[in-house]
Structure 1
Amino acid sequence: MNRFYDIINKIENNNNEITVSEYFHRCIAQAINENEKELVDWFCKIKNDVEGELVAWAEKHGQKYILGRNRAERKTWGIQVLLGKKIKYKDTVLNIYFPTEFHENSIIVEQCF
């Protein structure tokens, strides 16, 4: 799992103004550059799962265009996905918890209300 963290930690967050999809696109590109086929597949699956959770959240909350109107903030425990592209919004949409020593093979995606 160290390779996962190596790639995650190389991703620049551009002042928290990138979407979670863009964040994972960068992870995929970095994994391709490092010839990490297993991680490319893994990041693609995570990206698809997270986008599905975003769409489900948007349907519950009457939001449109959620895939382009969110921003990813890197935290010590993972990624927090917030509503809106600018810093003025503080609505948390998803929390994405990365693997830990206790949950080595799982990423937890939590919808926030």
Structure 2
Amino acid sequence: MEATVWGAYSIAYADGTCDAKEIAVLEKTIAALPAFAPFSGEIAQMSANIRARYEASPRSANAEALRQLADIAGTDDAVNVLCLCLDIADQDGIGPDEEAQLKKIAQALQLPLEQYL
């Protein structure tokens, strides 16, 4: 669960700002996954903490996101997280900043990005 939220914010902040429509994709995805239902309050608090970290120190926050993502590398969750990140990036078009971050995310997850584009 943590990797999902960290990955989502990692791509949302890739261009330096986090748009409401990008976070709406995360919220809709979480709402659609029954496994996350018991953690809705925890996810809201985690989201607030992650946003605060990105506002304070984007580099440090990105480093933590990549650590969280590496923890789920090679699992089914890794594919789901990468797909969520792509969906978020698509909200305002995948620019150079998002593309660079997607490559880092895919590498941390040990997945071929091109296969999911």
- Normalised-by-shorter TM-score class: 0.3 to 0.5
Pick the structure with greater CA Rg. 1
Point out the structure with the larger strand share.
1
Point out the structure with the larger helix share.
2
TM superposition score normalised by structure 1: 0.32
TM superposition score normalised by structure 2: 0.31
